[in-house]
Amino acid sequence: MVILRDDKRIARLAQIGKITSFAGMGALVAGLFLVFLPNTANLFFYQLLALFAGWSLSQVGIYLSRQYLVDNRADMILDEVLQKVARDGRIYHYLLPAQHVLLIPTGIIVFVAKHHVGNISVEGDKWKQTGLGLRRWFGQERIGNPTREAAMSVEAIASYLNKNAPSVEEVPIGAMIVFTNKSNKELDLKNSSIPAMHYTKVKGYLRQQKREKPMPEEDFRAIQAAFDKKAAHLLEDAERVSVLEAAEE
């Protein structure tokens, strides 16, 4: 499987996560310090402003850190589970209108990765998350509606291909919602309107889908070319490394 990943974007967002975390902590400390000063109307306003800014920045920092600074990032987990079942595929991380897109001979799969905790259940396209306690206020993003996110991601990829691969008349695009938190298996997802599962079940699910008919070769190549446009800089770097290694030999 060919893995194409925007490492520069990951590093940039990870750095933003660090900066906002420290800025949030600084603003919270400043707000707490202001509490001990003689109270005036103006000072109270600045106290609230500092505490609100500190809380907001710290939440952004915690969220970005959990997404891009952890060892078990969503893209890394997807790579691990897809290596053996999509050997003839190409996966694009943080390069296309959807974050994680797998191109295989039978079509396209858009992955919506969720690193959420708590008790999560779904009925059709209605999602519910309970059991968070105080964690909901400290950096734990709410589950929202992954079904809608998946539909929007599929629509975004279809729109991209309409513009960049107009020769492909019918694009087989599917979507999967994958929960990547290793410690959270309190998931009741069997009634989801689209495939949704813990990452440990992805491999088995995709093996069952291998009976599908491959798309025409010319369509596959046209889609690959359209996707590779967004990864041109990565492919150029890979070719440059290959040339250098060949020269050294």
pLDDT at 132: 62
Residue 139 CB partners (closer than 8 Å, separation 6+): 58, 59, 62, 63, 66
| Residue 159: CB atoms within 10 Å | 11
Query: Taking the model in full, what pTM does it have?
Result: 0.82
Give the Cα separation of 179 and 79 in Å (integer).
Answer: 14
The backbone torsions φ and ψ at residue 220, rounded to the nearest 5 degrees and listed phi first, read -60, -45
pLDDT at 178: 96
pLDDT at 48: 79
Closest CA to 65 of 111, 19, 134, 117: 19
Residue found by looking up tokens 């990870």 in the block: 14
Strand 2-5 with 90-93, pairing: parallel
User: Which residues share a beta bridge with 4?
Assistant: 92
Q: What is the mean pLDDT of each run of 10 residues along the chain (249 residues)?
A: 91 88 84 71 76 82 78 90 91 96 95 87 90 56 88 97 93 93 81 94 85 88 95 72 41
Helices 217-229 and 232-248, axial angle in degrees (round to 10): 90
Tokens representing 238 are: 């890979």
Q: What is the DSSP letter of 192?
A: B
